[in-house]
Amino acid sequence: MARGRRAPPLRSRLHGLRHMCSRRAALPRRALWVLAFCTALGLLLSWSSNRLLHWLSFPSHTQVRSEWSRQLLFPAVTLCNNNPLRFPRLSKGDLYYAGHWLGLLLPNRTARPLLTELLRGDEARLRWFAKLADFRLFLPPRHYEGISADFMDRLGHQLEDMLLSCKYRGELCGPHNFSAVFTKYGKCYMFNSGEEGRPLLTTVKGGTGNGLEIMLDIQQDEYLPIWGETEETTFEAGVKVQIHSQSEPPFVQELGFGVAPGFQTFVATQEQRLTYLPPPWGECRSSEMGLDFFPVYSITACRIDCETRYIVENCNCKMVHMPGDAPFCTPEQYKECAEPALGLLAEKDSNYCICRTPCNLTRYNKELSMVKIPSKTSAKYLEKKFNKSEKYISENILVLDIFFEALNYETIEQKKAYEVAALLGDIGGQMGLFIGASILTILELFDYIYELIKEKLLDLLGKEEEEGSHDENVVRNPTGREEHISLSSAPSVISQGLMLSRFQRKQLLMPWGEAAHAGGSEQPQSDPVPSLHPQSTCDPMPNHSETISHTVNVPLQATLGTLEEIAC
């Protein structure tokens, strides 16, 4: 049998492992080293698992920086009159179809009594409205446009009538610098929209006089009369303003701030550039992922997109501020379906509209301050300039001044608080602290395990080869019993006793046929050993290769002979 291979020696720089595996050390000492190593290994696994769980929680932190710039892009400014429709601009057809929706008529299309009482102070307006609400001889048109963009454009406040003065960075501007846009307030106007080929405006200085300064007449005498609370009427007088980026649609009804008449309002703004992380570190959505109706993703675009789909699915029409190709809602659809559905969406069905923060966002912080206008010294001048009374000026005129506080912007960036490099550094430091190991030390252990497995496999294969060669080393002694001879002991055995007698050699060397005929009748003689003739079995036979070999069982008896005579 082959000897088992000795296990390779353990050569590792892992602290304590050599003392644990040393056969020279006493058993108590080895036990103490095993205890110390297991304790250190347990602490390593505990602290490393803590770091791993912290990394799997995907933590993040926020970094805030202030950057300076030589010039800044001026934001888009959207302004809307709080009154969506001008009362004196209503036609008989408008009142016939939209009077009930506006709260001016009863369902049977007669004037509300409370409304006529409100108009009694103005006899001219009362007579005009009474005549307008008389439908006895009125033939309504077959097709009505509904609450469409044309309807709002025709009845809304016109910027040419509201804008009294406009300056940007000290230079004159006018209605041509504004673009019309429709919101829940009806027809609104956006400054520096960048649409229709208009270049975006920039500013190179901060402070008042380096931004947009406008004077507006809100035309309060054209507001719809209010007899109660309705969706399309408002109790406020003034304008609603939103400052936003050009890539973001206006959402004035929820994100705008109010500017009151009789005041000059100063709005100091600062640009903020926010960067958020996508999942799993954050909850942002890429701005490049557009929506159904908007090419660039933003929270307001997502909400308008979602509201549009909801109203179209439930009412088969769209409201005037909604994009898309669906038909505009009629006043009846507004009152019976669209407005209740929109309220339900905002109150109960909030899961329908889930709008995540975009990964890149620009917003503008605002600081508002105001002063009263007109002053006593300027009232006479303004009365003469605009041909309006001081009372009218204090109730209708406002001044809005929007500017950058300074030529700096703030970057707010969400960053990964714990990355893979930090995780590996922490685990590597703890491995060095507790068990004195590194990556190469771990590789040494794997290499030792590989060598150990290889030696065991070689031992198993050696045993199988030894058992497979069992039948090849069998000979028979004169009694017929098999003997096992290893290859290493065969020469000594043959030289000591494997000798043939003269008769046996003759029997072995004569032709196979004669040997069979002679049988046991011939007696051994003292004739000299015949030489090997061509008829010898060791000579080449005709038509056979010289490499033919014969296997014989050699009897183990001590007779004279040589190895050459046996094996030819």
Same domain, 216 and 256: yes
Total structural domains in the chain? 3
Tens-digit pLDDT profile for residues 266-295? 999 999 999 999 989 988 887 666 678 888
Same domain, 334 and 214: yes
Question: Taking residues 329-338, what's their average pLDDT?
Answer: 90
Beta bridge partners of 401: 213, 266
Question: Taking residues 307-328, what's their average pLDDT?
Answer: 92
Query: What letters, b where the CB count within 10 A reaches 16 and e where it falls short, cover 476-495?
Result: eeeeeeeeebeeeeeeeebe
Name the band, by pLDDT with cuts 50, 70 and 90, for residue 262.
very high
CATH number at residue 353: 2.60.470.10
Q: Within a domain: residue 475?
A: no
Name the band, by pLDDT with cuts 50, 70 and 90, for residue 120.
confident
Look at residues 375, 395, 415 and tell me which one is the last residue of a structural domain.
415
Query: What letters, b where the CB count within 10 A reaches 16 and e where it falls short, cover 229-268?
Result: eebbbbeebbbbbbbbbbbbbbbbeebbeebebbbbbbbb
Q: Within a domain: residue 477?
A: no
Name the band, by pLDDT with cuts 50, 70 and 90, for residue 72.
very high
Kind and range of the H or E run holding 514:
helix 512-518
Q: Within a domain: residue 473?
A: no
State residue 350's pLDDT score.
Answer: 65
Q: Within a domain: residue 285?
A: yes
The vertex-331 CA angle with 327 and 333, nearest 5°, equals: 65
State residue 193's pLDDT score.
Answer: 92
State residue 239's pLDDT score.
Answer: 96
CATH number at residue 446: 1.10.287.770
Q: Within a domain: residue 33?
A: yes
Beta bridge partners of 228: none
Rounded CA-CA distance 404/400 in Å is 14
Q: Which domain, by its residues, includes 257?
A: 68-415
Burial class (CB in 10 A: 0-12, 13-18, 19+), 99: buried
Rounded CA-CA distance 30/18 in Å is 10
Tens-digit pLDDT profile for residues 423-468? 999 998 888 888 888 888 888 888 888 888 988 888 888 877 766 6
Same domain, 352 and 450: no
Model-level pTM? 0.71
Question: Taking residues 359-371, what's their average pLDDT?
Answer: 94
Look at residues 379, 399, 415 and tell me which one is the last residue of a structural domain.
415
State residue 559's pLDDT score.
Answer: 44
More confident residue, 385 or 503: 385
5: pLDDT strictly greater than 60: no
Same domain, 508 and 525: yes
Same domain, 331 and 382: yes
Name the band, by pLDDT with cuts 50, 70 and 90, for residue 76.
very high
Same domain, 173 and 191: yes
% pLDDT > 90, the chain: 41
Same domain, 144 and 178: yes
Please state, rounded to an integer, the average pLDDT across all residues of the chain: 80
Question: Taking residues 205-214, what's their average pLDDT?
Answer: 93
508: pLDDT strictly greater than 70: no
Two tokens, residue 80: 């809307």
Same domain, 350 and 451: no
Same domain, 50 and 112: no
State residue 127's pLDDT score.
Answer: 86
Same domain, 299 and 321: yes
State residue 307's pLDDT score.
Answer: 92
State residue 1's pLDDT score.
Answer: 45
State residue 526's pLDDT score.
Answer: 44
State residue 472's pLDDT score.
Answer: 52
